[in-house]
Amino acid sequence: MGNYAKTESTHYLQVALPTPLRRVFDYLPPKSGIDALSPGIRLKVPFGPRKLIGILIAITTKTDIPPCSLKHAEHVLDEQPIIPRDLLDLCRWVAHYYHHSLGETLSTAIPVALRQGKPVAQQTRKLWRLTYPAAEVPSNIARNAKLQLAAWQLLKQHLKGLHEPMLKSLGVSSQTLSALEKKGEVECILEELPTLHTMPQSILHEAPLTLNPEQAHVVQQIRQAAQQFQTFLLQGITGSGKTEVYLQLIEHTLKAGRQALVLIPEIGLTPQTLHRFEQRFAVPIVVIHSGLNDSERFLAWQKAIDYRAGIIIGTRSAVFTPLAKPGLIIIDEEHDASYKQQDSLRYSARDIAIYRARQTNIPIVLGSATPSLETIHNAKAHRYRHLRLNQRAGMAKPPSIELLNIRGETLQAGLSSALQQKITQHLEKDQQVLIFINRRGYAPTLLCHECGWAADCPDCDAHLTIHRQPAHLHCHHCDYQQPIPERCGRCNTASLFPVGAGTERIEDFLIGQFDPTPVIRIDRDSTRGKSRLQQLFKDIHQGEPAILVGTQMLAKGHHFPKVTLVAILDADSGLFSSDFRGLERLGQLITQVAGRAGRGTLAGEVVIQTHHPESPILNSLVTEGYDTFANTLLAEREKLGLPPYGYIGLFRVECKKHEEGEQLLLQLRELINQFLQHNNLNGPLGVTLLGPLPAPMEKRQNWYRWQMLVSSPARQPLHTAIAFAVHQLEGGNQMLVKLARKLRWSVDIDPQDMM
């Protein structure tokens, strides 16, 4: 390509920049020329008055901008693309699908270090060895320099050298080493980290478990698709051995010289999962979670892309990790809400993962005991292969589930007397009891008995939650805190009292009621600090009789073999949730916590307190199980045209002045409706608008929140309408742009909830 010099001026660089603007920007090639520029490299470019680091998307010969107003790219940061082709393509699709800026999408996808322009260094490890093996201690090491002498002696016994981490663990500090290096006695060699190509070791540390026939069948079915795209729904009841299936699938993937990407929910069981993986596999495993700092994240990313790790385990954002040799994707607990990002780029890691699997032509496994309705629907439509694990290892029978009528009952800290009796029975048999309540703190409301005033958050439409440890009022929506007042804020009488019960209050009550049985509370407050949660789990596993009280955290993942009674205190909040997914969530929760009851050899019992024991849907769940329950919900969703039968997007607006959000959405609605009419997309088979409506919690953190729902029985018209609307908001319509400037707006495709 020697004739670039001639045509140089007709080439333009399309660059994605970290700005919310949904377009790419064209630049002239840098002064250094266009050679060695390929999509995926980083460029430093002038952007208005500042300099930004962008990603080169494409090199074109056309531009919509008058070429005289184009600027030159200033700097080329990479020789090789740091964003591989398929990740770039993935991000383009994501940006397009979620109507988000490509530059910001790329920023979400890559480690912070990269978007800040840090150089990509070859990953190395340091090998230290003696410069020359002398028989005697060299004279330039002082006789009293004990540490240096020890280090020298050590290295003399290992003339091939020792790696720095090894030396550290043997008590040799880097100061000692650099002191010796200065004296010319030792030298440091930078070795490239080995890739899996050159790693001679075997893949496994320990032998795999023997699979039961069901598991074996599942493994075999998925292996048959080993080299091509196929989505599997692995629906396995709690305790049916899904993880072992994952492990064996990964083993086959590794043996084929490929990598596995495993996504787990956010509050996930990272330490346990990781432990099990590390026990099994001898290949390097990389874990990506919110606890990592920037450089650790960057390291993990590099290991994945350089084929230095065989298994990549991570939460939501790990779905963007590029793989050198992709072979398998696993989404554990695929129904979990934490796979959906709830701000900025509102993506679903599960859905992106499926797209990725298709793009790279590899199988993907969605595992869950309680699959989402979307996934069940796709399985029924034969877009996914539906595989099941119905056998519970070493378990006689599934737990019995009872809907306990609490209508007219006087509750003590949220517990009915019937439930208290059951607790006594189980404790007398030396067993453990698990109480589930999705509300932390002492009580959700501080109420005045005299005038009905309640302590509210000044910044949100919400009551303040009473906490006792330490004592204060706390808003769970914006983190506002204040001391507990002694007198009513309205009538000034001293008759304030807590209404309702959260985990702290229930803990208090149980301690008094079932003394001396220990009560272990597990919620976000009781598990602050690094190893608190692990310690509490350890206590539970001692197996002594105990009552566990907790939130969501208790519903996920962990096995408690001695728990035989599980109680759900506030099922009704799920029954009457303002959100259309409320019931689905409740069903998943009940099924998941029921899976916690009676593992091992002991029979389990589940009690669900409700004011509506006759509720047909709850009864169908209890007597016929999750599948039937899900079918009922699916039928309802179909009637209402809700997902998975209809596709929805949500415009969200936050504003400081109450009416401004509504105004913007009203204007937007007018424009969209005109557009729909012009394009024959109105009517029930086209696109329908609902709203603007205030969000379920209208004010939050001093922002008023409005939303407008856009829905359609087909994906394409929905997409078209939203693309049009976004374009208008972003500059197409002057009036709208003017309104939009005063507030914050965003689009949420496939919203999880309307909160």
Partner DNA sequence: AGCACGCCGACT
Partner DNA sequence: GTCGGCGTGCTC
Residue 740 CB, nearest distance to DNA (Å)? 8
Strand blocks (E) in 454-596: 465-468, 471-474, 481-482, 496-499, 519-522, 547-550, 563-568
27 vs 277, beta carbon nearer DNA: 27
54 vs 414, beta carbon nearer DNA: 54
List the one residue from 9, 71, 294, 578 that touches DNA (CB under 7 A). 71
Residue 745 CB, nearest distance to DNA (Å)? 8
Residues of 348-358 as b/e, b for ≥16 C-beta within 10 angstroms? bbbbbbbbbbe
List the one residue from 16, 22, 27, 514 that touches DNA (CB under 7 A). 27
Q: Does 98 bind DNA (CB under 7 A)?
A: no
Q: Does 133 bind DNA (CB under 7 A)?
A: no
Provide the 10 A C-beta neighbour count for residue 689: 20
- End-to-end Cα separation, the chain, in angstroms: 56
List the one residue from 46, 257, 291, 452 that touches DNA (CB under 7 A). 46
Q: Does 116 bind DNA (CB under 7 A)?
A: no
Q: Does 657 bind DNA (CB under 7 A)?
A: no
Residue 428 CB, nearest distance to DNA (Å)? 60
The helix/strand/coil state of 22 is coil
- Does 451 belong to an annotated binding site? yes
Q: Is the peptide bond before 84 cis (omega within 30 degrees of 0)?
A: no
Task: Check if the beta carbon of residue 520 is closer than 8 Å to that of residue 546.
Answer: yes
Taking the C-alpha atoms of residue 330 and residue 311, their distance in angstroms, rounded to an integer, is 11
Taking the C-alpha atoms of residue 434 and residue 437, their distance in angstroms, rounded to an integer, is 10
Q: Does 62 bind DNA (CB under 7 A)?
A: no
Site size toward DNA, by CB under 7 A: 22
69 vs 390, beta carbon nearer DNA: 69
Q: What residue type is 430 in one-letter code? A: D
Taking the C-alpha atoms of residue 105 and residue 96, their distance in angstroms, rounded to an integer, is 10
Q: Does 85 bind DNA (CB under 7 A)?
A: no
Q: Is the peptide bond before 644 cis (omega within 30 degrees of 0)?
A: yes
Part in contact with DNA (CB under 7 A); list of ranges 43-51, 77-85, 145-153, 482-490: 43-51
List the one residue from 25, 320, 560, 703 that touches DNA (CB under 7 A). 25
- Does 188 belong to an annotated binding site? no
The helix/strand/coil state of 494 is coil
Q: Does 69 bind DNA (CB under 7 A)?
A: yes
Positions in 713-752 near DNA (CB under 7 A): 738, 741, 744
Q: Does 49 bind DNA (CB under 7 A)?
A: yes
Q: Does 50 bind DNA (CB under 7 A)?
A: yes
Mention every residue, 6+ apart, whose C-beta is less than 8 A from residue 420.
412, 513
Q: Which helix (H) or strand (E) holds 276?
A: helix 270-280
158 vs 742, beta carbon nearer DNA: 742
Residue 461 CB, nearest distance to DNA (Å)? 24
Taking the C-alpha atoms of residue 755 and residue 387, their distance in angstroms, rounded to an integer, is 34
Positions in 3-22 near DNA (CB under 7 A): 19-21
65 vs 685, beta carbon nearer DNA: 65
Q: Tell me, letter by letter, the H, E, C secondary structure of 557-578.
A: CCCCCCEEEEEECCHHHHHCCC
Residue 47 CB, nearest distance to DNA (Å)? 4
Part in contact with DNA (CB under 7 A); list of ranges 47-55, 155-163, 297-305, 378-386: 47-55
Taking the C-alpha atoms of residue 433 and residue 539, their distance in angstroms, rounded to an integer, is 14
Q: Does 45 bind DNA (CB under 7 A)?
A: yes
Tokens representing residue 188 in the block: 């440091």
List the one residue from 26, 507, 523, 654 that touches DNA (CB under 7 A). 26
Q: What sign has the CA pseudo-torsion 329, 334, 336, 337?
A: positive
25 vs 347, beta carbon nearer DNA: 25
Binding-site residue set: 448, 451, 457, 460, 475, 478, 488, 491
Binding-site residue set for Zn(2+): 448, 451, 457, 460, 475, 478, 488, 491
- Which residues of this chain interact with DNA, rule CB under 7 A? 19-21, 23, 25-28, 45-50, 63, 65, 69-71, 738, 741, 744
